[in-house]
Amino acid sequence: MEKVIVDNIDTLSKFGTSFQKKIITSLLFRKTFLQTIFDILDPKIFDSEADRWLVNNIKNYFLEFKKSPTLEALKIIIEDLDNDILKTSVIHNLKEVYNSREATDLEFVEKTILEFCRNQTLKNAILKSVDLLQIGEYEQIKAVIDGAMKAGTVAELGHDYIKSVLSRYEESARTTVKTPWDVINEVMDGGLGKGELGVIVAPAGIGKTWMLQCIGNGCIKKGLTAVHYTLELNQSYVGLRYDTILTGIPTANLKYSIEEVEKQVNKLSGNLIIKHYPTKSASVQTLSAHLSQLEIQSIIPDIVIVDYADILRDTSGIKEYRLALGNIYEDLRGLAGEMDVPIWTASQANRSALEEDVIEADKVAEAYSKVMTADFIMSVSRKATDKIANTGRVHVIKNRFGIDGVTYPANINTNVGTIEIFEGNSWQGKEQTNKMDSDEMLTGFLKNKYDDFKTSEKKLEGFE
């Protein structure tokens, strides 16, 4: 590809000299504007040498003292100028700048120059991307463009702890999205918050996807918007499983109850977007790009579900799987912060966890860094006997917002998408615990299943 040489410095000539003086007025007398435009304002875009000198010295002063220079400070700096012609011109221009401080269109001037400088920054980023494209650094292109898109935004300076005592109590410190389980919301101090990463850990075939879908279903029933990324099941089948959770009808039987499904779906006040990517074909950057596309169409998610992070593609170039997996989780939590949305995902537990009563952090597969990165982690354990009895144990491995190390009995019936988690000392919790501990109850479950099988077998007698 032949490289095109472009002069990437545009000037402010089309706006006129008065407009340029008002820009300098805002730099001197409106500190927030100077903070916002500081990084993207190039003095070279001004027409006159005197204006370029003023802008350059205002920026230098701000860089050192973190405030705009006073007129007295500028006069002292001007006195050091050796060029008498430039000195005269600077003094003349500074008088015009001072006289413009009461102008009624300063906000318009600021908005216009910010847009101009952002466009300039984006153009430079596109030119840089051409070089990155030639050497195959595709993922870096997105980072360069994203940085340019964020340029010139108003900086949030943070929470002033000393001055903001009352404000901490006037509004919640965390805006959370609840799970369908009250006992989990309680230990999480309300649910998963914006910018936070929650992880469900379990061996294969235990019900991680069902739990993620229950979280999504709970959100759309409350009028929220959920985006569900699936990297294993196709998006239509994931939709069918949401139908099962909503109606209680087994997925295989839904085709006989389409009217009931439509009736229940039409009651929902929220929105659900399901997007499928083949295993290892999508990276966190892919998800970010898709969320940006949704934003363009005014679809702003309240929660994002990724099923599941272990089979996303790492773009860091790290060859060791353990380290690459840790990088994926760091990027995913970074995406939660960037999009200001809670993200739920799932992770595999080691094969040795299959017959564990409680799955602890040491059973998280491959990379312990997943545990370090996530804000909340809960595991789900179900032995073979639990699958028969529709029971299970949910254990809080990590919790930044409250207690951890606690285990709750659960009713888990993946046939109809029912997952309930109880306090251990509640009557429902005791009932589930008794089911898990009772050999007699297990024998009864097995007998009932055998009786059902024999009944079905008799009905088929005589039909070849």
CATH code of the domain covering residue 419 = 3.40.50.300
Q: Percentage of residues in the chain with pLDDT exceeding 70?
A: 85
Select the more confidently predicted residue: 207 or 364. 207
Select the more confidently predicted residue: 71 or 168. 71
C-alpha angle 266/272/276, rounded to 5°?
A: 130
Q: Examine residue 462 and state whether it is found in any structural domain, yes or no.
A: no
Give residue 192's pLDDT.
95
* Two structure tokens written together for 151: 């340029």
Give residue 396's pLDDT.
94
Q: Examine residue 5 and state whether it is found in any structural domain, yes or no.
A: no
The b-or-e profile of 233-261 (16+ CB within 10 A means b, else e) is eeeeebbebbbbbbbebebeebeeeeeeb
Whether 140 and 211 share a structural domain: no
Give residue 423's pLDDT.
92
- The residue among 115, 150, 185 that closes a domain is 150
Whether 316 and 429 share a structural domain: yes
Mean pLDDT, residues 355-365: 77
Q: Which residues pair with 303 in a beta bridge?
A: 226
Q: Examine residue 377 and state whether it is found in any structural domain, yes or no.
A: yes
How many Å apart are CA 203 and CA 381, to the nearest integer?
Answer: 8
How many Å apart are CA 460 and CA 308, to the nearest integer?
Answer: 42
Instruction: Compute the mean pLDDT over every residue in the chain, rounded to the nearest whole number.
Output: 84
Mean pLDDT, residues 90-112: 90
Mean pLDDT, residues 62-77: 87
Whether 189 and 292 share a structural domain: yes
Whether 286 and 201 share a structural domain: yes
Q: Examine residue 387 and state whether it is found in any structural domain, yes or no.
A: yes
User: What is the DSSP secondary-structure string of 237-303?
Assistant: HHHHHHHHHHH---GGGGGG-HHHHHHHHTT--SEEEEEE--TTT--HHHHHHHHHHHHHTT---SE
Taking 70 as the threshold, does the pLDDT of residue 224 lie above it?
yes
For residue 137, give every residue at least 6 positions away whose Cβ sits within 8 Å of its Cβ, in sequence order, or none: none
For residue 124, give every residue at least 6 positions away whose Cβ sits within 8 Å of its Cβ, in sequence order, or none: 8, 148
- The residue among 100, 134, 150 that closes a domain is 150
Whether 207 and 246 share a structural domain: yes
Predicted confidence (pLDDT) per residue in 119-159, tens digit: 888 888 788 777 777 777 766 766 666 666 666 555 555 66
* Two structure tokens written together for 342: 């809670």
Whether 129 and 250 share a structural domain: no
Q: Examine residue 441 and state whether it is found in any structural domain, yes or no.
A: yes
- Structural domain including 57 reads 13-150
Q: Examine residue 459 and state whether it is found in any structural domain, yes or no.
A: no
H-helix or E-strand spanning residue 391:
strand 391-399
| Backbone angles phi and psi of 9, in degrees to 5 | -110, 110
How many Å apart are CA 280 and CA 137, to the nearest integer?
Answer: 19
> Lowest-confidence range among 84-98, 218-232, 351-365, 378-392?
351-365
Residue 171 confidence class, pLDDT cut points 50, 70, 90: low
Q: Which residues pair with 344 in a beta bridge?
A: 198, 305
Give residue 178's pLDDT.
94
- 51 in helix, strand or coil? helix
C-beta of residue 332 within 8 angstroms of C-beta of residue 284: yes
Q: Examine residue 366 and state whether it is found in any structural domain, yes or no.
A: yes
Q: What pTM did the predictor assign? A: 0.66
- 344 in helix, strand or coil? strand
Count of structural domains within the chain: 2
User: 226: alpha, beta or left, given left = phi > 0 and alpha = psi -120 to 50?
Assistant: beta
Cis-peptide into 308, omega within 30 deg: yes
Strand 271-276's sheet: what is its strand order? 271-276, 225-230, 303-307, 343-348, 197-202, 376-381, 391-399, 407-413, 418-421
C-beta of residue 343 within 8 angstroms of C-beta of residue 197: yes
Whether 346 and 414 share a structural domain: yes
Taking 50 as the threshold, does the pLDDT of residue 18 lie above it?
yes
Cα dihedral 66/72/76/81 (nearest 10): 90
For residue 125, give every residue at least 6 positions away whose Cβ sits within 8 Å of its Cβ, in sequence order, or none: 144, 145, 147, 148
> Lowest-confidence range among 60-64, 147-151, 255-259, 342-346?
147-151
Whether 108 and 182 share a structural domain: no
Select the more confidently predicted residue: 174 or 18. 18
How many Å apart are CA 343 and CA 374, to the nearest integer?
Answer: 10
Neighbouring CB atoms inside 10 A of 222's CB total 14
Whether 144 and 180 share a structural domain: no
Whether 197 and 134 share a structural domain: no
Residue 92 confidence class, pLDDT cut points 50, 70, 90: very high
Whether 139 and 229 share a structural domain: no
Taking 80 as the threshold, does the pLDDT of residue 461 lie above it?
no
Mean pLDDT, residues 404-418: 93
> Lowest-confidence range among 264-273, 327-336, 356-365, 427-436?
356-365
Whether 139 and 288 share a structural domain: no
Taking 50 as the threshold, does the pLDDT of residue 202 lie above it?
yes
Give residue 205's pLDDT.
85
Taking 80 as the threshold, does the pLDDT of residue 328 lie above it?
yes
C-beta of residue 441 within 8 angstroms of C-beta of residue 385: no
Find, among 387, 434, 437, the residue nearest to 415 by Cα: 387
Q: Examine residue 159 and state whether it is found in any structural domain, yes or no.
A: no
Largest Cα span, the chain? 114
